[in-house]
Amino acid sequence: MCGIVAVIGSREAAPLLLEGLRQLEYRGYDSAGIATIEQSASGESAALHCVRAKGKLVNLSASVEQEGAPGFCGIGHTRWATHGKPEVRNAHPHRDGDGDVAVVQNGIIENHRSLREELTAAGVSFRSDTDTEVIPHLISAELQRLRFAGQPADGSTLLRAVQNVLPRLQGAYALAVLWADVPGALVVARKAAPLLIGLGEGEFLCASDTPALAGFTRTILPLEDGEVALLTPLGIELYDEAGERQQRSPSLLSGQEHVADKRQFRHFMLKEIHEQPETARLWVERHLLLNLQGGDPVALPFDESFYAGIERIQILACGTSRHAALVGAYLLEQFAGVPASVHYASEFRYAPPPLAPNTLTIGVTQSGETADTLAALAMDAQRREANPDPAYAPRQLGVTNRPESSLARQVPHILDIGAGIEVGVAATKTFLGQLLAFYALALAFAGRRTTRSEDEIVALVNELRGLPDHLSALVEQHDKCSEVMAHRFAETQDVIFLGRGINYPIALEGALKLKEISYIHAEGYPAGEMKHGPIALLDKHVPVISIAVPGVVFEKVLSNAQEAKARDAQLIGVAPICADTELFDELLPVPEVSEWISPLFTMVPMQLLSYHIAAHRGLDVDQPRNLAKSVTVE
C-alpha cells in the first residue's frame, strides 16, 4: 500500500528518490522519508543521512532542502499507516540503534511482536510503533555477528546478513536496505509484495510500481517471490529463496501510458472520468469483431482450449473490482449461461467454498498487486493441485490494468483491460475497463454455447459499438448537471443507493464512490430489500438515489422508489427521461438502452456526482484519507 524507491549510481540520489516517490503518490500515504549514504572525500568513511516528514511530499522536500541528503545511494518511502499513527517517528526509513543500517518496507511483519520482545530483552531500544523497525535491528545484529566472524565490510556481507534475517520474518514484505559501512551497495528483497528493478546506464532504480521507473528506464527486472538482490554500480546479483544465484533476462515496460499528466483538469479523478469514452473506444477496436456470422463475436487472447470443458466460474475480488465482478457474474450466468459466483477475496482465504470440478477461477484486481486476491488465487490453485482428479485442476484467469504485475506472473492467462495509468484512488476508468472485460468474456462464452441466439449476440455487440459516442455525450452532460446538484449535499450525512438485477452492483459502487471521496455515509441495497430494514433510516434529510432502467425489474424499482418518496426522502433517479420517471424529485438522465448494457451508463452519474460533492466540500479528491490505490497488505 506504500511506495518504495531505491537508487544506486553516479548521480545524487535524493532528487531521483523524491521524483520517484512523487510518481507513487497516487498509491496513498500519510508520511514519507528518504535515507542516503554520503561518502567522505577521502573515501575512508561514510555517513547515513535520514530525513522524514509527516503528511505530503512537499513537507519532505522542504526538509531535504533544509537538512540535506547527499550521496549516490539511497532509499525512499511513502507510508500508509498500519502499525502506529502517521507521525514522524513512525515514518520510514527505520534505522538500527547506531543509525548505520536503514530499511524501508512494504507489507506487514506478522511476528513483529515476538521479535520486538526478543530484541528488547537483548537491550534494543525502539523509537517507533511500527512492525518494520525490527528489521534494521535484526540486520544490524547479524552484521555484527558476521564481522566478528571475520567477514569484510562489503556488499556481500550485507547481502548475507539480509539473507540470514529474512527467514525470521513472517508475513509479506518488499524491502530495501542500506549500510553506512558500504556506500556502494544496496540490497532489496520481496515476499508477497511487489518490487521491480529498473536498469539504467551504470545505475539502478528499484520501485514498488512502474510509474516510478517510467521516466528513468523502460528496462525492468521484476523480482520473483522470495528473491533477494545485491545492487552495486557494476551490476546485479540475484538470488532465490534458497540462496542460489539466478540468471534472468530483463523485460521492457509495455507501451501503456506510465507517466501521469493531469492536463487541464482540476483533479486526476475528473480527468479519468472524462477518459472513459476513449477507454471504451480502444476496447471496441481491440475486441469487437466485424464479421459475426457464425464466428467469434470478440477477439480475446485465448485459444479454444481455454474455454473447453468449463462448467462454472468463480470470481475473486475486493472493493470496486468486486462490484465489476458482480456485474460480470450476472452477464456470464444470465446472458452466457455459465453458472457464476463472486467471493470477497479476503473471506475466500479463510472460508473457501467446497471444490467444484471444471471451474474457471477469475481474479480481478486493477493493480494486479492486491494481496488478498493474489493469496486467494494461490489458495485455490493449491487446493486444486492437491486433488488428483483432472477435473479439479486449476484453471485461472486474471483481469487487471497492469499486465506486468504480480498477478500476471502468478496466473497462466491475463485479460488486460488497457485503461492506462489511473492516479485517482477512487477507481473510475479502470472500473469501466473491468466491466468491459466481463462483457467480452460473456460474449465469448455465449458464442460457444446455445444459451443465446446469434441475433441476440449480434444485438449486444452492435449496442456496444455505440458505447464510446454515448459515453462521450453522457460524461459532458453529467459533468455539468452534477456540479449544479452537488451544493445540495453540503449538509448531507447519509445517502441510500438502490438498484436491482444487473444494476444492483452499480448501486453498491455508487455508495462506495461517495464514501471514498466525500466521507458521507452511504449504503447500496437491492431495491426490494429497502422495506426489510433500511426504510427505517429514511426522512427528508436522507437522499435516495435509485437506478431505474427499462427491463424486467423496471416497474419493481419504480414501486420501491415510491416507498421512499412516501417517507419524505429526496428521491433522485438515474433513469431515462420518460413518463414513468417523472416521479423522481431530480433526474440524472441516461440513454434508453437495453438492460444488458445499462451498467455502462448508470455508473457515470454516480462517479460525477460523487466527484463534484467532494470537490464542492474542498476535499482531497485524488488522495482521500486512509485509502491507498494498491492494497498490498491483508
Catalytically active residues are 2, 629
CB 229 within 8 A of CB 41: no
User: Between vectors from CA 339 to CA 335 and to CA 341, what angle results, nearest 5°?
Assistant: 110
Mention every residue, 6+ apart, whose C-beta is less than 8 A from residue 181.
46, 100, 153
Angstrom distances, CA of residue 347 to CA of 42, 316, 396, 504? 57, 10, 18, 21
Closest C-alpha among 470, 487, 418 to residue 603 = 470
Question: For 338-466, where are the alpha helices, taking DSSP H only?
Answer: 345-348, 371-385, 406-410, 429-446, 454-465
Q: Which run of H or of E encompasses 279?
A: helix 276-287
Dist. CA 325–CA 442, nearest whole Å:
12
Residue tagged 456540479 (cell numbers): 483
Burial of residue 393, with CB atoms counted within 10 A of its CB: 0-12 exposed, 13-18 middle, 19 or more buried:
middle
Both ends of the chain: CA-CA distance in Å? Answer: 10
Map residue 65 onto helix, strand or coil: helix
Answer yes or no: are the C-beta atoms of 359 and 395 closer than 8 Å. yes
Counted residue by residue, the chain has a size of: 634
Handedness of CA 246, 414, 627, 108 (dihedral sign): negative
What crossing angle do the helices spanning 13-23 and 57-67 adopt, rounded to 10°?
170
Short-list 569, 565, 497, CA closest to 526: 497
DSSP classification of residue 496: E
Q: Is 527 left (phi over 0), alpha (psi -120 to 50) or beta?
A: alpha
Residues 6+ apart with CB under 8 A from 65: none
Find how far residue 183's CA is from the centre of its chain. 34
Which residues have CB under 8 Å from 419's CB, separation 6+?
Answer: 275, 279, 366, 401, 429, 430, 432, 433
**Residue 63 to residue 68: CA distance in whole angstroms:** 8
Burial status of residue 246 (CB atoms within 10 A of its CB: 0-12, 13-18, 19 or more): middle
